[in-house]
């Protein structure tokens, strides 16, 4: 513990360097902006900015990209409260009571408690990260290919299980992601696989064009000609600092939301969306007046907002200590780490302490920046939301095309982005979720390598996944998650969606 | 007697089934290797098989559907979607030939004017400012190399 705190202090010396402070500021500001804007999220933004970070050192680059991740959580709540439109999927629940509070003239306290709650939760999750990540990395050193294979299978199964719509469709997306991710040269024999003679595909399909297509352009295509002008809260926002009563009512929900979000965020595959639904349901259940939820209860804002921030911090633990992303956003971040030539996993702390501790310390710095900047900048975000959607959507498309092109300076990537945008639109229409596809797309090549190495190790016996206790634990959990819905109609994702 | 309905989900499941089988076929041509030494097609074959199986489950579920689909396929303006996709393909095709600034200007004119329904004067102003501005932002500030084309910018 003391060693971790000393390392964290070292991390602060890195995070507080003027250059890193600047990139942290850019990251959190960009994150807040894309969190505010419906139509582009942190996943697409990270992919978009990836090429722009090539001339930076990896520490500054990851500090900026991480800032986008947690900055978006702050920004997402602004549109939820003021417009009743979640800027991010992880701010959906905030709409329920946040918008009602705004309608009752309490937009200020709603925005205030959301920012303070996010800050407290962010601080908590960073402390958790400091304590748990090195321990988990130590544990991860015991992992061989079978354990990694089993962990990835567990993560992908959890993502499919938590799908908001059909689990079969989510599993289909996962398998498709593995197939698409493995396109290119075979890692052992260098045989071109499913490249159809296209030279640009021998290195595989790029992550950036896939993300730009699925998360950026597809969103714009879906809204073409149908997005009505959002009703922006017109009243003056006053009293951003919650009063004593607001604090008394919120401190419990913030604490519970932080704990719940952080620990659920640790589980590969869970991400930040489901925990906020759970935290809302928990507060509703604990409340003496559950019937008031949905009509402007501050607890209904404080808990989910704390929860999604803590969960975002939690998702960094499997990413940084095991190299396993929890959701599409951290999957793109994993891709970024690999592009910089870093190997995310248990050895990251030992081999790149600058990056590991610098990024963690920057998250705390970023949270402070967000708290200072977010509330005074709300009028600016509101004015940005008044820009007609046709302008915003045109620029989103343009930036996505630049993002797709600039990673390899290759127009094939633009064609891929366009193809995936159409595919993404069809997926939306047919209720297929893109997140499992992106996660599996990134994990696919790692999964294949781990599987093939495991089979070579075991001389072709699949029993290796059951003979090693850690791998067996992960596989059994994955099987449990996949089999339970066959015998029960209860599933966390859709169940919550309908009830709450 | 319950009548089986052919829904969009059914057609989708058949498409997925075909895709899954195609992957299996392609994988078998790549070489599956054996269980002690998996070949290049190994992961594709098993993924394709699982996909085929899942698509059959989806097909079965879709054939059981009795309620009309509540999917709001009509909400999306498909004509606009087709136009925008065509414009994006045009952008990809001409980007390296005409250069970033000019191609971006044309794309933004189209997106704002034709697709966004804005009047032409502000569209021309915004498109030209955005084309030059984004070139300055990405090429000059962020040091991302953008294609210059025949005009040299």
Percent of chain A at pLDDT > 70 equals 93
Which A residues in the span 54-113 are in contact with B, Cβ-Cβ below 8 Å?
54-55
pLDDT at A42 over 70: yes
**pLDDT of amino acid A296:** 86
Extract long-range pairs of B33-38: CB within 8 Å, 24+ residues apart. Answer: B34/A460, B35/A455, B35/A460, B36/A455, B36/A456, B36/A459, B36/A460, B37/A455, B37/A456, B37/A460, B38/A451, B38/A452, B38/A455
pTM (two decimals): 0.84
Is the complex ipTM higher than 0.85? yes
CA distance A420 to A470: 37
Helix A273-286, helix A492-499: angle, nearest 10: 50
pLDDT at A286 over 90: no
Helix (H) or strand (E) holding B38: strand B37-38
Using the Cβ of A455 and the Cβ atoms of chain B, whether some distance falls under 8 Å is answered with: yes
Q: Which tens digit of pLDDT belongs to each residue from B25-61?
A: 999 998 888 888 888 999 999 999 999 999 999 998 8
Question: Which candidate, B51, B152, B135, B57, places its Cα nearest to that of B97?
Answer: B152
Using the Cβ of A406 and the Cβ atoms of chain B, whether some distance falls under 8 Å is answered with: yes
- The tokens for A160 are 């499919």
CB contact under 8 A, B36 and A226: no
CB contact under 8 A, B144 and A406: yes
Testing the interface with B: which of A394, A417, A422 to mutate, by most B Cβ within 10 A? A394
Judge whether A374 and A115 are in contact, CB under 8 Å. Answer: yes
Question: What's the gap in Å between the CA of A221 and the closest CA on chain B?
Answer: 6
Can you name the residues that pair with B33 across neighbouring β-strands? B38
Helix (H) or strand (E) holding B37: strand B37-38
Sort strands B33-34 and B37-38 into parallel, antiparallel or unpaired: antiparallel
CA distance A308 to A262: 8
Judge whether A153 and A478 are in contact, CB under 8 Å. Answer: yes
pLDDT at B141 over 90: no
Residue of B nearest to A427 (CA): B12
CA distance A311 to A319: 13
Judge whether A331 and A315 are in contact, CB under 8 Å. Answer: no
CA A219 and chain centroid, separation: 17
Q: Which residues of B touch A402 (CB under 8 A)?
A: 134, 138, 144, 146
Residue of A nearest to B10 (CA): A430
pLDDT at A495 over 50: no
Q: Which tens digit of pLDDT belongs to each residue from A406-430?
A: 878 889 999 999 999 999 999 988 8
């Amino acid at each position: 513990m003391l060693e971790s705190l000393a390392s964290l202090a070292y991390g602060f010396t890195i995070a507080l360097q003027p250059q890193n402070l600047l990139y942290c500021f850019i990251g959190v500001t960009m994150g807040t902006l894309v969190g505010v804007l419906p139509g582009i999220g942190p996943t697409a933004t990270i992919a978009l900015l990836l090429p722009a970070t090539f001339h930076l050192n990896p520490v500054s680059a990851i500090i900026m990209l991480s800032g986008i991740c947690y900055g978006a959580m702050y920004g997402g709540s602004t549109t939820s409260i003021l417009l009743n439109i979640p800027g991010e999927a992880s701010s959906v629940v905030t709409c329920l009571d946040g918008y009602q509070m705004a309608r009752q003239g309490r937009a200020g306290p709603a925005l205030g408690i959301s920012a303070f709650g996010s800050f407290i939760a962010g601080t908590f999750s960073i402390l958790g990260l400091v304590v748990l990540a090195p321990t988990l990395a130590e544990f991860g050193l015991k992992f061989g290919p079978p354990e990694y294979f089993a962990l990835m299978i567990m993560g992908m199964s959890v993502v499919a299980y938590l799908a908001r719509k059909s689990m079969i469709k989510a599993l289909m997306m996962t398998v498709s992601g593995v197939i698409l991710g493995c396109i290119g040269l075979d890692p052992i024999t260098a045989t071109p696989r499913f490249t159809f003679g296209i030279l640009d595909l021998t290195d595989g399909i790029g992550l950036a064009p896939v993300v730009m297509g699925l998360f950026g352009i597809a969103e714009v295509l879906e809204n073409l000609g149908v997005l009505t002008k959002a009703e922006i809260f017109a009243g003056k926002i006053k009293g951003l600092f919650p009063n004593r009563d607001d604090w008394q009512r919120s401190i419990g929900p913030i604490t519970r939301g932080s704990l719940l979000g952080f620990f659920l965020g640790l589980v590969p595959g869970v991400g930040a969306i489901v925990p906020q639904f759970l935290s809302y349901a928990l507060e509703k259940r604990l409340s003496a007046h559950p019937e008031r939820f949905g009509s402007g209860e501050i607890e209904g804002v404080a808990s989910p907002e704390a929860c999604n921030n803590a969960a975002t911090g939690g998702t960094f633990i499997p990413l940084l200590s095991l190299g396993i992303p929890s959701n599409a956003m951290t999957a793109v971040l994993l891709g970024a780490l690999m592009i910089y030539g870093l190997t995310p996993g248990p050895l990251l702390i030992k081999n790149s302490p600058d990056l590991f501790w610098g990024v963690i310390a920057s998250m705390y710095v970023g949270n402070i920046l967000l708290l200072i900047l977010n509330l005074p900048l709300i009028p600016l975000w509101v004015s940005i939301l008044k820009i007609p959607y046709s302008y915003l959507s045109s620029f989103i498309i343009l930036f996505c095309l630049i993002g797709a092109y600039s990673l390899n300076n290759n127009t094939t990537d633009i064609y891929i982005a366009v193809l995936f945008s159409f595919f993404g639109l069809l997926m939306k229409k047919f209720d297929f979720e893109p997140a499992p596809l992106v996660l599996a797309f990134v994990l696919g090549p790692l999964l294949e390598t781990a599987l093939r190495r495991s089979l070579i190790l075991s001389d072709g016996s699949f029993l290796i996944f059951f003979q090693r206790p850690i791998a067996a634990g992960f596989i059994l959990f994955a099987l449990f998650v996949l089999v339970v819905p066959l015998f029960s109609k209860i599933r966390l994702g859709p169940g919550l969606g309908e009830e709450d | 007697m319950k009548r089986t309905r052919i829904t969009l989900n059914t057609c989708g499941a058949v498409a997925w089934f075909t895709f899954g089988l195609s992957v299996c076929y392609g994988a078998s041509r790549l070489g599956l290797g054996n269980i002690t030494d998996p070949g290049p097609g190994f992961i594709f074959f098993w993924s394709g098989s699982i996909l085929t199986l899942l698509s059959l489950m989806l097909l079965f579920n879709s054939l059981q559907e009795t309620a009309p689909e509540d999917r709001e396929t009509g909400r999306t303006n498909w004509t606009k979607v087709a136009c925008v996709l065509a414009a994006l393909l045009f952008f990809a095709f001409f980007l390296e030939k005409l250069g970033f600034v000019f191609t971006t200007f044309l794309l933004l004119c189209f997106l704002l004017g034709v697709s966004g329904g804005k009047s032409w004067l502000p569209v021309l102003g915004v498109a030209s400012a955005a084309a030059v501005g984004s070139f300055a932002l990405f090429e000059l500030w962020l040091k991302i190399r953008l294609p210059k084309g025949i005009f040299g910018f």
